[in-house]
Amino acid sequence: MTDAAVRGDGAVERTYLEAIREALFEEMARDENVFCLGEDIGAYGGAFKVTDGLLARFGESRVIDTPISEAAIVGAAAGAAHMGMRPVCEMQFIDFISCAYDMLTNYVATARYRAMLPCPMVVRGPSGGYVRGGPFHSQNPEAAFLHTPGLKIVYPATASDAKGLLKAAIRDDDCVLFFEHKYLYRRVKEVMPAGDHVVPIGKARVAREGSDVSIITYAATVWKALEAAEELARDDGISVEVIDLRSLLPMDDEAIVATVRKTNRVLVLHEDTRTGGVAGEITARINELAFEWLDAPVLRVTAADVPLPYSPPLEDYVLPQTADVVKAVRQLARY
């Protein structure tokens, strides 16, 4: 907990990373069926130190260092989950979740439906770019799993949501993919809500109220949207509403429709690439559910359709930036 800053009033702020760690500590203390497994999560405390201290507190039977075997990590978690355990798997970087894609999509996601075998388990890991991580330490693989019935997907943007959603994910009776944005790990912090803080899966959050244009987004780009909204209010007098989806599967259609009906102009923003991305799905839902409420076509701001490059000028060019959001909102407001 070394990153925590004690504020003047005595309330302790937690970073996004500490909030995740706190959720793990609390859930493992609450329920002895909860255990963690992954690569280098024990003595080393994980590549980003998310699991630091868990081994000392809970011992090596509940904090299991595994071989480099994502399929075995996820498969073993599924088997243990069938028997009533609640495993939390760490992917050292979420980029490596693709090694367990078969296990997740074919085995885990179908188990309840085809065999009445529940899989109460979490697969979590550091995701996302803006960190000069290159093609294999920066990915956002959510769209690859959004297409799979049987999985749930959450991707928090704030520290309190990170904690509350992880606790909800661990308690959920199905497999939840918990994407953690590594750019946010130590950059955002807040005082945790008191008590047993659980955020329901499937509910979006209004990150900023507005009346002219809506930005629907999630994860790190929530903060880009908020920066853009500030700038647009100041320079253009445009009132921007920012919706932080928090959960992608199930998706909060009600919140999406509500903001469309309020502003009638929508920008969908995400860090992942464009083609086949989550933004396309959101756009289709708006088309089906609220077409008559639109005053402008739905626009997307996303990464370009390229593997994420390493060099700063390249990465910055590919990923969506605040200026891109400002430009897109201005276009929507003008339409």
Partner 1 sequence: MAQRTRRRETAERPRRSAAEPPSPSAALSREARLELYYYMRLTRSLEERLVNLYRQTKVVGGLFRSLGQEADSVGSAFALERHDVLSPLIRNLGSMLVKGARPDEIIRQYMAKGDSPTRGRELNIHYGDLDRGFIGQISHLGDMVPVMAGVALSFKLRREPRVVLVYVGDGATSTGAFHEGINFAAVQRLPMVVIVENNGYAYSTPLAKQTAVAELKDKAVGYGIPGVRADGNDVLAVYDVTRAAVDRARRGEGVTLIELVTYRRKGHAEHDNQSYVPPGEIDRWATENDPLDRYVAVLRDRDGVTDAELAAADRRAHDLIDAATDAAEASPMPEPTDALVGVYGEPAVVPPLWFREGVRSAVSAHERAAGWGTFDGASALKAASDD
Binding stretches for partner 1 (CB under 8 A): 35, 61-62, 64, 66-67, 69-85, 87, 102-103, 106-107, 110, 112-118, 149-150, 152, 172-174, 250, 288
Are the CB atoms for 90 and 127 separated by under 8 Å?
A: no
Q: Work out whether strand 299-303 and strand 247-249 pair parallel, antiparallel, or are unpaired.
A: unpaired
Q: Give me the least distance between CB of 117 and partner 1, in Å please.
A: 7
Are the CB atoms for 97 and 70 separated by under 8 Å?
A: yes
Question: Cα separation of 187 and 67, whole Å?
Answer: 31
Question: Cα separation of 244 and 217, whole Å?
Answer: 5
Q: Give me the least distance between CB of 130 and partner 1, in Å please.
A: 32
Q: How many CB atoms lie within 10 A of CB 174?
A: 18
Cβ distance to partner 1 smaller for residue 62 or 182: 62
Among the options 137, 181, 197, 270, which is catalytic? 137
Cβ distance to partner 1 smaller for residue 61 or 275: 61
Q: Give me the least distance between CB of 229 and partner 1, in Å please.
A: 33
Whether 137 is catalytic: yes
Q: How many CB atoms lie within 10 A of CB 177?
A: 30
Q: Give me the least distance between CB of 61 and partner 1, in Å please.
A: 6
Cβ distance to partner 1 smaller for residue 75 or 277: 75
Cβ distance to partner 1 smaller for residue 69 or 211: 69
48-51: long-range contacts, CB 8 A cutoff, minimum separation 24: 48/17, 48/126, 48/182, 48/185, 49/17, 50/17, 50/20, 50/21, 50/24, 50/90, 50/126, 50/180, 51/21, 51/24, 51/90
| Catalytic residue annotation | 137
